[in-house]
Amino acid sequence: MASTINGTSTGSGGLISTGDDSGILNIQTNETTAVSISAAQNVAIGSTAAATGCTLDVQGTSALKVPVGTTAQRPTGVTGMTRLNSTTGYLEYFNGTSYISLVGSNPSLTQKALFGYGREVGGRLSITNLVSNTGVVATDTTGVGTERDWLAAAGYGTDKAIFGYGDVGGPSGTAVTNLVSNTGVVATDTTGVGTTRMGLAAAGYGTDKAIFGYGVAFSNYSLTNLVSNTGVVATDTTGVGTARYGLAAAGYGTDKALFGYGTTGSNQSLTNLVSNTGVVAANTTGVGTARSNLAAAGYGTDKAIFGYGTTASNQSLTNLVSNTGVVATDTTGVGTARYALAAAGYGTDKALFGYGHAATYSSLTNLVSNTGVVATDTTGVGTARYYVAAAGFSLSA
């Protein structure tokens, strides 16, 4: 038999040691093995042997408690360290370079974001502006790829993003895309797939994929294009719901998405839910003020928010979306009313609206808390512009 140390509540009440030459050490309580250490130094807790391939195997139905501390209390990282960050509320691990939040695979739960492309008084742009995990917008990064506006962007692959489609000056638009790495580096153009168009929207779905949908070129569209978890855009999927443009989209419920609002020539408030397999549902009756050229983003880990836009005048009102995809009535607007702005998630559970057009081009932003409360204007950074797109990226703070 194996070497055994037995603590018992009967008999002598002491520790009893027995053994052989198997190289296994068992620690027992009341003659039942509590801990077993193999000759290879694999440890089993609550069983007599660790499962194959496990250095530590903990059996039971309760829980395993890991160290808890704030971001400021992080120890000097060693690859493989795992802890619960009480500042963010998420498990995190050290990957050898930085701490990575284990926030699941919801693309709305990324740490950082970026705004990209758009239009200013001098014409179309390809510049980007990175957003830190605290919502601070950086100055302009030199543009990469085709200059365009009225495009869309979304997260994919859990920590990357994609910009796609848009207006390049002609009536048909473009279908080119630009992938964004998990460090915020924008790649050169990828040849377009699917119907060229502009005024569309995009969101993440299914934990690591994305979807572009709707838009306009020579006519209004309701078609969609799915994006794989490696950033490959698929050919057109037949449209569902009312064809329209100038709408917005966001993820909700950790793995689903919805398209909402927009215009057919008249402003709409209807929405279309997207399943976790990328299937778009028929119209849901609109809630809140019908408007177009608004923005949307995920917040609070599983909810979403639509905000701003235009009716016959610029708006700053918002509509919260529950984790079941139910859109709430209007919330009174905060900040400068504007349209053709963009929004993205940051800091794992917050969001921000940025840029757009008010009385003129704007670069101001409005942060959104993890409870969906929109803050007053933050002074703009970078080139003021509108018809911009935004998406979250990176699981690393």
Q: Are residues 279 and 173 in the same domain?
A: yes
pLDDT at 25 over 90: no
Give the chain's domain count.
3
Q: How far apart are CA 340 and CA 361, in angstroms?
A: 10
Q: Are residues 36 and 80 in the same domain?
A: no
Instruction: Identify the pLDDT of residue 105.
Output: 42
pLDDT at 142 over 70: yes
Query: Per the domain annotation, does 63 fall within a domain?
Result: no
Q: Are residues 291 and 342 in the same domain?
A: yes
pLDDT at 106 over 80: no
State the pLDDT confidence band at 390, using cuts at 50, 70 and 90.
very high
Give the SS3 label for residue 109: helix
- pLDDT (average), residues 260-265: 98
Residue pLDDT, tens place only, 241-262: 999 999 999 999 989 999 999 9
Q: Which of 40-49, 255-264, 350-359 has the lowest mean pLDDT?
A: 40-49
Q: Which of 21-35, 197-211, 240-254 has the lowest mean pLDDT?
A: 21-35
How many angstroms separate the most distant Cα atoms in the chain? 91
Instruction: Identify the pLDDT of residue 119.
Output: 98
Residue pLDDT, tens place only, 5-19: 665 544 444 444 455
Cβ–Cβ < 8 Å for 394, 159: yes
Q: Are residues 8 and 151 in the same domain?
A: no
Query: Per the domain annotation, does 139 fall within a domain?
Result: yes
Residue pLDDT, tens place only, 284-305: 998 999 999 999 999 998 999 9
Q: Are residues 315 and 335 in the same domain?
A: yes
Q: Are residues 139 and 265 in the same domain?
A: yes
State the pLDDT confidence band at 21, using cuts at 50, 70 and 90.
low
Instruction: Identify the pLDDT of residue 195.
Output: 98
Cβ neighbours of residue 51 closer than 8 Å, sequence gap 6 or more: 44, 57
Instruction: Identify the pLDDT of residue 305.
Output: 98
pLDDT at 101 over 70: no
Q: Are residues 240 and 379 in the same domain?
A: yes
Query: Per the domain annotation, does 160 fall within a domain?
Result: yes
Q: Are residues 293 and 359 in the same domain?
A: yes
Predicted structure pTM score? 0.81
The parent domain of residue 205 ranges over: 107-393
Q: Are residues 36 and 134 in the same domain?
A: no
Query: Per the domain annotation, does 28 fall within a domain?
Result: yes
Q: Phi-psi region for residue 287, left (φ > 0), alpha (ψ -120 to 50) or beta?
A: beta
The enclosing domain of 176 has a CATH number of 2.120.10.80
Q: Are residues 201 and 219 in the same domain?
A: yes
Q: Are residues 52 and 35 in the same domain?
A: yes
